[in-house]
Structure 1
Amino acid sequence: MRILVSYDLEDIATTSTYKFGYLISEYLESKGFNVTRLDGIKCTRDFLFLSLLDAKNLVIYAGHGVEDALVGFSFPNYWIGRPFVGFDNADWLSGKIVYTIACLSGRKLAKKVIESGAIAYFGAIDIMYVGFPMERNYMDDFIETWIEPIIQLINGKTVKEAYDSYIKKCNYFIELYKSNIDKWPNADWHLHALEHNRDVFKVFGDKNATLKDTKPTTTKIEVFKTLLSLSPIALAVVTAPIWVPLIKKELEKRGIL
């Protein structure tokens, strides 16, 4: 089972998502999973392409999102029209379960990713809030809600069961904050923030699927598509590392070199 975890670090919000990405990567590796990390400035489309040359069953993304894209490490990639995942490369996620902790991508991108062949997509239809380490470490509480569905998925639970575990974990902390609202000065804000996160986080695609149902594709086909689109001269230059040694070997064999 191969898992890709991508998490960049750019600002206050991504401090939380970066910590989540790091912690879930450590956890998955401790359980024996083959994990590829795209952390920090590696959270870009180019590194995504390279990492998907090998099939991945589960893709986890934590960072900024907009309605039609997962932003990735934004400068300069997103601002020049090359987000981590957009409509034009949604098919890279075909056959996979996609789990995102990001704002807004559930509005448009989720549908496109599912239409392009992904098994399921976890994502938010509005902004998502992060917690802060105050009188209580609310940051870690929020991260715990994000980790819970992944634990369920790797233990063989369905997408729906994983999603339900997120709701249950959110409700646990919501009730905890309510019961301590007079003692914890910042419990009220985090209570409402977590209620919001719970209500806007959705799942799309096959809710009865498990990780065993994934049929991940790779980006190798994109390499061939690119080669086929090149002119004969450009194709010869790009493929030179392959054919030049072969020709040299044949010439040496014939005693010409």
Structure 2
Amino acid sequence: MNRTILVTRPSHDQTTRCISAWAGEVLDFAVKRGDTVIDLAKDRANRKEFESVLDKKDPSMVFFNGHGDESRVGGQDNETLVDTQNSSRLSGKVVYALACKSGQLLGPVSIEHGTAAYVGYNEDFIFMTEPDKRTHPLDDKTAALFMGPSNQVVISLLKGQTAQEAHIHSRKAFFRSIRKLMTSKTSLADSSALRFLYWDATVQACYGDGRM
């Protein structure tokens, strides 16, 4: 069954450049499965275009990448794409927000307004990178420890699993990254990564249990 997925991929600082590059792995996976991907990358990740796609294409899933806070998720240059005031626009959709803190308020409010499911983070999403890989984020093995588990949310949803199942699979992937580091020779940097991987796994939250 062909489904339409809306992805926002701002790229205005080091954080958004990295997470948006890794989101591209999920886009490739979706296209290979025959799904339709609408990619709002860089300057296209603005509120006007985002709302236009919601109205005209009615995607079954929205995958946000960007900065956020308790009540909003941002796009290019951190322009607000969705907040608690317009979360009804997500009604009927399955949402994954790779953005800090939006699970605190935006997640539950969007469910009240009809969102099928919302997976996000109740606190900051923290990840580490290798300085010499900043221009080639997909070659960054440290970032991969974090981005792989994050991408697992969307991959699981694309495979037909429910949001709760996707949330569980993602958390398990974070713990696999932890075990991978623990069974290797651990450096000081790895010790920090262990702490942040555990943090991300525990602050990821899921509201609702819809599927695509």
Report the 3-state secondary structure (helix = DSSP H, G, I; strand = E; otherwise coil) of the residue aligned with 2:205: strand
Q: CA deviation at 1:113?
A: 1.0
Q: 1:125 aligns with which of 122, 125, 129?
A: 122
Question: Aligned equivalents of 2:72 and 2:93: distance in 1?
Answer: 17
Match among 69, 72, 95 for residue 75 of structure 2: 72
Deviations 1:184-239, CA, capped at 9 Å, x for gaps:
4421111111111001010012x2x321xxxxxxxxxxxxxxxxxxxxxxxxxxxx
Match of 2:147 among 122, 137, 143: 143
- How far 1:104 sits from its partner (Å)? 0.6
Tell me by how many angstroms 1:54 deviates.
1.3
SS class of match (1:15): helix
Partners of 1:49 and 1:99 in 2: how far apart?
17
* TM-aligned CA deviation for residue 30 of structure 1: 1.8
TM-score under structure 2 length normalisation: 0.90
Q: Does the 8 Å CA contact 2:96/2:153 hold for their aligned counterparts? A: no
CA–CA separation in structure 2 for the residues paired with 1:72 and 1:121: 18
Q: Residue type of the partner of 1:72?
A: G
* Separation in 2, partners of 1:155, 1:15: 26
AA aligned opposite 1:54: K
Asked if structure 2 preserves the Cα contact closer than 8 Å seen for 1:65 and 1:104, the reply is: yes
Please give the secondary structure, in 2, of the residue aligned with 1:130.
coil
Identify, as 1 or 2, the structure richer in strand. 2
Percent sequence identity is: 24
Q: Tell me the SS of whatever aligns to 1:74.
A: helix
Matched-pair contact (CA < 8 Å) for 1:97–1:118: yes
Q: Structure 1: where are the runs of 5+ without partners?
A: 212-257
State which of 146, 171, 175 in structure 2 corresponds to 1:171. Answer: 175
| Mapped partners of 1:30, 1:157: distance in 2 | 18
Q: Secondary structure at the match of 1:36?
A: strand
Partner secondary structure for residue 177 of structure 1: helix
**Residues 60, 100 of structure 1: 8 Å contact kept:** yes
Larger radius of gyration: 1
Map 1:107-256 onto structure 2 (within 5 A). 107-133=104-130, 137-182=141-186, 184-205=187-208, 207=209, 209-211=210-212
8 A contact 1:131–1:140 mirrored in 2 = no
Name 1:214's counterpart in structure 2: none
User: What is the distance in 2 between the residues matched to 1:59 and 1:12?
Assistant: 22
Partner Cα distance (2:74, 2:161) in 1: 29
> What residue is the counterpart of 2:20 in the other structure?
18
* Alignment gaps of 5+ in structure 2: 133-139
Q: Which residue of 2 aligns with 1:60?
A: 63
| CA–CA distance in structure 2, aligned partners of residues 181 and 67 of structure 1 | 37
Distance between the aligned counterparts of 1:94 and 1:4, measured in 2?
14
Aligned residues: 202
Amino acid at match of 1:163: H
Q: Is the 8 A contact 1:94 1:116 kept in 2?
A: yes
- Superposed CA deviations along residues 125-162 of structure 1, whole A, max 9, x for unmatched, are 10011231379711122111111122211111121111
CA–CA distance in 2 between the matches of 1:128 and 1:61? 13
Structure 1 contact 134–186 (Cα < 8 Å) conserved: no
CA distance in 2, matches of 1:108, 1:98: 14
- Matching residue's letter, 2:85: D
Amino acid at match of 1:142: F
